[in-house]
């Protein structure tokens, strides 16, 4: 009896997905734990491995929208069919007239000469860069276009396009919106329509925390096996501020306010498929080194498209660092049902007055967007001030004062 392949549980609130590709084809052998298909949901892309060894029989083609529990393939016991024997070479045809010879000289592609489609990482990068896969000579197995091929092609200078003649028709390119992008759009619009979003700003003198990082980063990495970045230090400062201002870590649920005595920290990560926010669970119980490790692990899974839906669920507060892209100031949008999100920005040297003297300091603007239905302006301002105080005097991060 054939083993039935059904779509597994995809995590909280996810009921369906789209089959992006089949890693195995009809009649192809598969082993246990081999990747069978790639599925895209509203929250993440995931590769689904096989729980059975045998021969694949596909029942739902790539591009199909499928529900949790739906039958999509069968795996039959046995080995894959051996390729048919090579047919004897046909006799040479009689000479053709020159015009016919030229027409016949262009070989017709056969399935065996057509390279396999690009992998998921390469495909998403092609879409992001607007590059046609057929314009790239693949260096992968059997001529497959790899992510490295796309990056090389994107880095090459584009040939100068002729300026279109005045009045000439201009073209446009239509690309289907991915499920993740659709979901991001829906959530952002819903946040704007549901919450009373307001943003308050402050600026942080990063001198002390930059000095701390410079002095101890080598010893920190040697001891803990992970680099010391700013995100973990901002995380610790925010967690301490959330304890003092619990409304920023709460949510509105119907007619109730739900206060959390834990912090599941969302860290916004930019990927080829759009912005995702993996969640570091129980971040308030982690050390700075553990935070660095978990943030790096989650960011790596996000960029590789290997996050599971549960990795994106349950966050209570979010930090987004637009400074890595050069943003000087922004107003981040809430990630519902959360009531607060902190925006970090670019560190830039600016003149400031200290003790009646004009000095140059590395400053960062920070922004807190919050749900004004739950968080008062005084609470929001106090939250940012507490974050600022701890980062400008990093000893307070350790002493928790």
What Å distances lie between residue 5 and 23, 33, 58, 76, CA to CA? 14, 13, 9, 11
Handedness of CA 323, 300, 294, 278 (dihedral sign): positive
Query: Dihedral (C-alpha) 259, 264, 270, 273: value to the nearest 10 degrees?
Result: -90
Catalytic residue from among 34, 290, 310, 372? 372
CB contact at 8 A, 350 and 361: yes
The whole-angstrom separation of Cα 259 and Cα 248 is 9
H/E element, 166: none
Residue 206: both structure tokens together: 């990063």
Q: How many CA atoms, within 13 angstroms, populate the side-chain half-sphere of residue 175?
A: 15
Both structure tokens of 355: 């003790």
Tokens of 114: 């057509």
Q: Which of 33, 211, 304, 376 is catalytic?
A: 376
Residue 372 catalytic? yes
Q: Which residues are designated catalytic?
A: 372, 376
């Amino acid at each position: 009896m054939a083993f039935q392949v059904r779509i597994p549980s995809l995590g909280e609130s996810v009921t369906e997905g789209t089959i992006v590709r089949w890693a195995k084809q009809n009649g192809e052998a598969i082993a246990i734990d081999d990747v069978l298909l790639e599925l895209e949901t509203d929250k993440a892309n995931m590769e689904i491995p096989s729980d059975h060894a045998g021969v694949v029989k596909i029942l739902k083609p790539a591009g199909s929208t499928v529900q949790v529990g739906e039958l999509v393939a069968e795996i039959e016991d046995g080995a894959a069919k051996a390729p048919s024997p090579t047919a004897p070479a046909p006799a040479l045809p009689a000479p053709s007239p020159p015009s016919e010879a030229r027409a016949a000289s262009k070989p017709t592609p056969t399935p065996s000469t057509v390279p396999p489609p690009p992998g998921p990482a390469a495909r998403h990068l092609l879409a992001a860069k607007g590059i046609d896969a057929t314009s790239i000579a693949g260096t992968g197995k059997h001529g497959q276009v790899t992510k490295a091929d796309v990056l090389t092609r994107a880095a090459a200078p584009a040939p100068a396009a002729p300026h279109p003649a005045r009045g000439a028709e201009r073209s446009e390119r239509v690309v289907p919106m991915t499920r993740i992008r659709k979901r991001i759009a829906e959530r952002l619009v819903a946040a704007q329509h549901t919450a009373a979003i307001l943003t308050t700003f402050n600026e942080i003198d990063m001198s002390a925390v930059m000095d701390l990082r410079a002095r101890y980063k080598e010893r920190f990495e040697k001891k803990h096996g992970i680099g010391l970045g700013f995100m973990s230090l901002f995380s610790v400062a925010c967690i301490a501020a959330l304890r003092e201002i619990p409304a920023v870590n709460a949510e509105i649920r119907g007619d109730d306010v739900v206060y959390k005595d834990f912090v599941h920290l969302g860290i916004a990560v930019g990927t080829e498929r759009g912005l995702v926010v993996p969640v570091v669970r129980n971040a308030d119980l982690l050390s700075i080194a553990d935070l660095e490790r978990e943030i790096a692990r989650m960011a790596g899974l996000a960029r590789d498209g290997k996050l599971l839906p549960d990795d994106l669920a349950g966050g209570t507060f979010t930090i987004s660092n637009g400074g890595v892209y050069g943003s000087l100031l922004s107003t981040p949008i809430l990630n519902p049902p959360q009531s607060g999100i902190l925006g970090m920005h670019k560190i830039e040297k600016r003149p400031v007055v200290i003790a009646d003297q004009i000095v140059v300091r590395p400053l960062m603007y920070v922004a807190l967007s919050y749900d004004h239905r739950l968080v008062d302006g005084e609470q929001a301002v106090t939250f940012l001030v507490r974050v600022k105080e701890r980062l400008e005097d990093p000893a307070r991060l350790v002493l928790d004062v």
